[in-house]
Structure 1
């Protein structure tokens, strides 16, 4: 028994073809939107690639670009099929292509759903990427004379100013690394020597942060050096000065920015997936209802359309049997090949 069988007359078939034609061109526009989103996301990730640890984060934008191009191509082709379906002579040349096309559509819809899920659950991998990338970026902040790292200071400073953040998890991250270049340290100074000797790794660590961590909303001039020394500044308590620096870490700020962007994109991809599923099911109905017309010379006659020719259980069973028969066929061919080899070896032995 066919699954989701519907009866169609001439009027319903025309309405189905026209509705699918319109829906296909809506999907073409959605494909352009997906392509644009992929390009935008790729640019955004490249802009901050220096503070991201791995290149795998480009899988989603690359997939969106590929999906956009494929959606435009597939739906433009489907739109042409729907337009020609009103003319039996023109539709006859598309009939052999419809089954392979529907299989391609099914694979495309599975891939689309997978990318939608990836957009919605990518927070974990993105958090790890940003955490390691920011940690490395902060470590190279002082290397303004090193080729390949000379722009890291500018990148980190602009990042902290734009996203109103400081450090990886917070401003105290700057206390654990040497962010002042040796070029600007006076090694004849006793204070510098003592600080370097007091550190196991021989680094110049201070309780200070770069200027880009300063919060302009603070009512007093920014205190960015000797931050934990209350006696070094008048009327200052580092535990209560909330407005002096940005309190949020850059990992959290970037994660919120990219997660909200990816969630919006995931919702749009999910909407495109629903539209593509509707197109695929509609095309299947159009295909079956036109094929089941008993008298092609009478366009007014009724016909039946369905999604699956058999029930879901029967379809799965027949598909499983087909896979088993293919497996047995390969096994027989391998056995015959082995037998032929043994026979050849026996003949060689006798001779």
Structure 2
């Protein structure tokens, strides 16, 4: 059977192949390390912003898969650098001969599979952020007032920190606060007629106002922040809601978080693509270097030309041989037939 993709490698090309593999392996290790940093940063961001994502949003799987792919790429790069460096020295190469085959199998099957999975998630999962953030921010706004409810007592603090840090207000704008009760019931006076009228005018029994929390205010505004009665055109004579120069954050948190997380996912996807390309080149070069040195007994500066290849035989013949071996392994052994008994001799009457 003819080898698959054979390549004749004289002495100088063998040496250049080993030297180039050493450099590519270190680049792969660097790319794996950067992938670890990018996925770790995204994972930390999701831990801080996980409150504003719906629990059913699968986006959190992306940094975990990328983290595992980065670890495998880093290990493959370090192993490839050690093997290619040792191949230049006949005394240091023998211990690596037993390591190269498991390294190639693990790098191709596990590392390549994780990279393909993470790259696919980086391309597909950012589209789920829109719905996940929409539902998560809606829930966060609804629980803003529940400062004394177990499980939601930190909702107000987290939402205020989000709006102050990312310079946003509400889901899509400051008017989103008009449709939710964001004032805690502990601060409402049940004897106040205005409070009673507002609660009774709402079918859900909520205390709704045309105001926003303090965290929606822009601290760089040259005038005091207007937080209440924003829908009343006579409450603030100098305030025109049709003008864009408000002293509130203009953007909604949905658009800000969507752009922020999609930017991180795009950066991570680019790193995964570069890592995948480098890992494919390193594994391909290591396979050619391994098969070429096997023909020389592990000595790179051996005399004569040698041949490197991917597989020792044709793919069709390999599959056919594996199929026949599998059928032979599952075929039941033929049972031995019992020895035939001799027919009984007939008694011949004597004459």
The answer for the alignment partner of 1:307 in structure 2 is: 310
CA deviation string 1:3-44 (max 9, x = no partner) = 543321122212211221232223223322222223222222
| Match in the other structure for 2:13 | 12
Aligned 1:1-351 pairs, distance under 5 A? 2-54=3-55, 56-88=58-90, 90-107=92-109, 108-216=111-219, 218-293=221-296, 299-309=302-312, 314-315=314-315, 317-318=316-317, 320-321=319-320, 324-325=323-324, 328=327, 332=331
Distance across 2 between alignment mates of 1:49 and 1:196? 32
Shift of 1:167: 0.8
Query: How far apart in 1 are the matches of 2:128 and 2:318?
Result: 37
Dislocated runs of 4+, deviation >6 Å = 294-298
Q: Output the TM-score relative to the length of structure 1.
A: 0.83
Q: Which whole-Å CA distance do the structure 1 matches of 2:300 and 2:208 have between them? A: 89
TM-score (norm 2): 0.83
What SS does the corresponding residue of 2:120 show, helix, strand or coil?
A: helix
Q: Displacement of 1:59 after TM fit?
A: 2.0
Distance in 2, matches of 1:241 and 1:149, equals 34
Distance 1:212 1:325, change over 3 A: farther
Per-residue deviation, 1:151: 2.2
What's the CA shift string for 1:321-343, capped at 9, x where partnerless?
A: 4675577568756xx9xxxxxxx
Residue 145 (structure 1) shift:
2.0
Cα shift at 1:49? 2.2
Q: Which residue of 2 aligns with 1:344?
A: none
Contact 1:294/1:303 (CA < 8 Å) preserved in 2?
no
* Whole-angstrom CA distance in 1 between matches of 2:266 and 2:320: 41
Contact 2:79 2:103 in 1 (8 A): no
Paired with 1:241 and 1:23, the residues of 2 have a C-alpha distance of 53
Q: Which residue matches 1:349?
A: none
Gaps of 5+ in 1: 337-351
Q: How far apart, CA to CA, are the structure 2 residues paired with 1:3 and 1:327?
A: 23
Instruction: Tell me the SS of whatever aligns to 2:190.
Output: coil
Deviation at 1:96, TM superposition (A): 4.6
CA distance in 2 between counterparts of 1:303 and 1:318 reads 23
**Aligned positions, number:** 331
Give the 3 Å change call, closer, same or farther, for CA 124–329 of structure 1 in structure 2.
Answer: farther
Q: Which has the higher contact order (CA 8 A, sep 6+)?
A: 2
The structure with more radius of gyration: 2
- Residues 133-161 of structure 1: CA deviation (Å, up to 9, x unaligned): 21111111111222332222121112111
Change (3 A) 1:297 1:322: closer
Cα distance 1:52–1:323, how it changes in 2: closer, same or farther (>3 A)? farther
Inter-partner Cα distance in structure 2 for 1:70 and 1:295: 26
Please give the secondary structure, in 2, of the residue aligned with 1:71.
Answer: helix
Conservation of the 8 A alpha-carbon contact between 1:207 and 1:227: yes
The CA distance in 1 between the partners of 2:322 and 2:208, in whole Å, is 66
Q: The residue matched to 1:186 in structure 2 has which SS?
A: coil
Structure 2 stretches lacking a partner, 5+ long = 334-351
Query: In 2, are the aligned partners of 1:163 and 1:250 still within 8 Å (CA)?
Result: yes
Q: Taking structure 1 as reference, are residues 269 and 207 closer, same or farther at Cα in structure 2, changes over 3 Å only?
A: same
Segment of structure 1 superposing worse, 58-67 or 222-231: 58-67
Per mean C-alpha deviation after superposition, the further-off stretch among 188-197 and 89-98 is 89-98
Contact 1:196 1:204 in 2 (8 A): yes
Structure 1 residues 176 and 318, CA gap change in structure 2 (3 angstroms): farther
Shift of 1:308: 4.3
Deviation at 1:179, TM superposition (A): 0.5
Q: CA deviation at 1:204?
A: 0.6
